[in-house]
Amino acid sequence: MSESERPSGCTVIVGCQWGDEGKGKIVDVLAEDVDIIARYQGGANAGHTVHVGDEEFVLHQIPSGILHRGKRCLLGNGVVLDIVQFFEEYHALQARGVDLEGRIGVSERAHLLLPYHRLLDKADECQATRKIGTTGRGIGPAYESKAGRSGVRVADLANPSRLQELVAAGVEHAERRLAALGQEYSSELQGAVDDALSLGEALQALAADTGLEIMQALRSDKAVLLEGAQGTALDLDHGTYPFVTSSNTTAAAAATGVGIGPTAISRVIGVVKAYTTRVGNGPLPSAFDEEMDKHVRELGGEFGATTGRPRRCGWFDAVLARYSARVNGLTGLAVTKLDVLDTLPEISIVTGYRIGADVVEEFPADTWSLGTVEPVLETVPGWEASTCDARRLEDLPSAARHYLDRIQELTGAPVEMISVGTKRSQIIRSV
Ligand code: IMP
C-alpha cells in the first residue's frame, strides 16, 4: 500500500459475540497500516492469540499490534491494569526478541488491579450461589474499586504518601470482605501488594496521556486502531447480565476508554466467528447438542486462551449479531474461522428465538428467558472443501459465499474481512 493510500482516522475493533471471536488476528492484520493501537477496556481476562510465522503469541494486556515493529501500543484509561502480569508479558515479549523501546504507553488514568482484587474475585465466585464463571483475574473487584471511587490509578504512583494511603485502605477493605466471605486470606497479601508496587517506577516510565496522544496522531492524519476485549454479549450494559464482564466492551466505550470524543471514530468493525462460542456461565441460545459441541470444539480448538477452559459451541446466532451491529454502530464485519466449518455437510444459522407461540427477532434483555428459548434455524448446505488457501472472495466455494451473504443480509453489516486460518496471510479482504 502506498503512503497516499494509507488509511487515516480511528477504527474500533469490537467483538460481537461472547468474546474469543478472533479479534487478535484481525487487529494484527490491520495493525500493519496504522500508527497506534490502543486497548480501551478489560484487563488480563482477555487472551488474544496471534500467529506470526510458526510462532504463537498469547497477549493478555498488551495490544495485539505490538507484534508489528515500530507501532505504538497504548493501554487506555478504561483498562484495569494488573501490574505484575503486565510486566511478565512485557518481559516475555522482550525475551522473544520483540523490541518494546518507546513503544508502550499506559494511561495515567488507568486503574491498577492489585493482588487483593484477584483474591476477592475468587472468594466471591467460591461462595456465590449463582456463579458467573469469571476468569479469576480480579476484573469485577477492580472495576468495583473504580466505581466505588477507592481505586488506585497509575497517576497515584507518582505520589508515594497518597499511594500508601490508598493501598492501605484497599488492603483493609479486602481483608474485611474476605473475612465476611469466610475466606482465608493469607498474611502474605501485604507482601504481594508490595511486590506489585515495586514495579510502580517501571510503570511510571510508561505513563502517558493516551487521549492526547491519540488526538494528536489523528490531527496529523495518522491512523489509530482501538482494540476491544471480550464481546458485546459480555458488555456490562448490553450483554447477558449478570453473566457479563464488568466493563463496557462495546464500541462507544472505546472513546471513553482511551479519552477521545465519539466523533473522532470513523469506522467500527465487528468481529464474529463463523459460529458461536461461550466460556463461563450464562445462556447460549444457539448451543449445539453434546456430540456436535465436542466435534466443533475440536475442529476449532475452542479452549480459553486465558484459562484453558473448554468453550461451549453453537451455530452462528444472527439475532445476537444483528443486535451487536446495532449497539456498536458497525460499519463492517470481519468473519473469522470460516475454515472450521469446511467439513460440515450442513450449516445452520439462528434467525430467531421461539418463546412459546412467539418468534422473537430482537435480542431479549431478560437473560433468564434467553436460557429457555428455542432457536429458529435456517439450514444451508455446507461446502465440504478447504477454504484455507482462499485469498479472494472468488476463491471460496459458492456455498461458502452464500453463507457469508446470509450473514451479511441477516446482520445488516457488510462483510469486509474473512479469516480462513490462523496465519496472517490467511485472510480475504473484500473491500
Ligand atoms: P471476568 O471478566 O473475569 O469477570 O469474567 C466474566 C465473564 O466474562 C465470564 O463468563 C468469563 O468467562 C467471560 N470472559 C472474560 N474475559 C473473556 C474473554 O477474553 N473471552 C471470553 N470470555 C471472557
- Scanning the structure block, which residue is given the C-alpha cell 468453550? 311
Closest atom, ligand 1, to C-alpha of 15: 20
Same domain, 19 and 139: no
Same domain, 158 and 184: yes
Same domain, 317 and 223: no
Same domain, 343 and 356: yes
Same domain, 297 and 361: yes
How many whole angstroms from its chain centre is CA 231?
A: 6
**How far lies 237's CA from each of 67, 337, 401, in Å?**
32, 28, 34
Same domain, 103 and 115: no
Q: Residue 276: helix, strand or coil by DSSP?
A: strand
Give burial (CB, 10 Å; 0-12/13-18/19+) of 98: middle
End position of a domain, from candidates 239, 270, 301: 270
pLDDT at 3: 43
Domain that holds residue 22: 9-107+206-270
> At residue 208, does pLDDT exceed 60?
yes
End position of a domain, from candidates 155, 176, 202: 202
pLDDT digits (tens, 9 = 90+) for 74-121: 999 999 999 999 999 999 999 999 999 999 999 999 999 999 999 999
Q: Is 60 a catalytic residue?
A: no
User: Residue 1 falls within a domain, yes or no?
Assistant: no
User: Residue 354 falls within a domain, yes or no?
Assistant: yes
- Of 138, 41, 57, nearest to 98 by C-alpha is 57
For ligand 1, atom 20, name the residue with the nearest CA: 19
Under 8 Å between Cβ of 113 and 46? no
Cα(417) to centroid(ligand 1), Å = 25
Closest atom, ligand 1, to C-alpha of 20: 20
User: Residue 329 falls within a domain, yes or no?
Assistant: yes
What CA–CA distance (Å, rounded) separates 72 from 371? 42
How many CA atoms lie within 13 Å of 247's alpha carbon, on the beta-carbon side?
33
pLDDT digits (tens, 9 = 90+) for 160-179: 999 999 999 999 999 999 99
Same domain, 299 and 379: yes
The CATH number of the domain where 61 resides is what? Answer: 3.40.440.10
Same domain, 238 and 358: no
Cis bond leading into 381, ω under 30°? no
For ligand 1, atom 15, name the residue with the nearest CA: 45
- Give the rounded percent of residues in the chain with a pLDDT score beyond 90: 91
Q: Is 91 a catalytic residue?
A: no
pLDDT digits (tens, 9 = 90+) for 391-421: 999 999 999 999 999 999 999 999 999 999 9
Domain count across the chain: 3
| Residue 267 CB coordination number (10 Å) | 18
Enumerate residues 6+ apart whose C-beta is below 8 A from 121: 134, 136, 137, 138, 139, 140, 141
pLDDT digits (tens, 9 = 90+) for 343-369: 999 999 999 999 989 999 999 999 999
Same domain, 253 and 276: no
Cα(161) to centroid(ligand 1), Å = 34
Same domain, 67 and 211: yes
For ligand 1, atom 2, name the residue with the nearest CA: 245
Cα(370) to centroid(ligand 1), Å = 19
End position of a domain, from candidates 202, 234, 262: 202
User: Would the CA dihedral through 47, 142, 63, 194 be positive or negative?
Assistant: negative
The CATH number of the domain where 402 resides is what? Answer: 3.90.170.10
Same domain, 198 and 211: no
Predicted confidence band at 7 (pLDDT cuts at 50, 70, 90)? low
Predicted confidence band at 1 (pLDDT cuts at 50, 70, 90)? very low
User: Residue 48 falls within a domain, yes or no?
Assistant: yes
Same domain, 26 and 118: no
What CA–CA distance (Å, rounded) separates 310 from 281? 12
For ligand 1, atom 8, name the residue with the nearest CA: 245
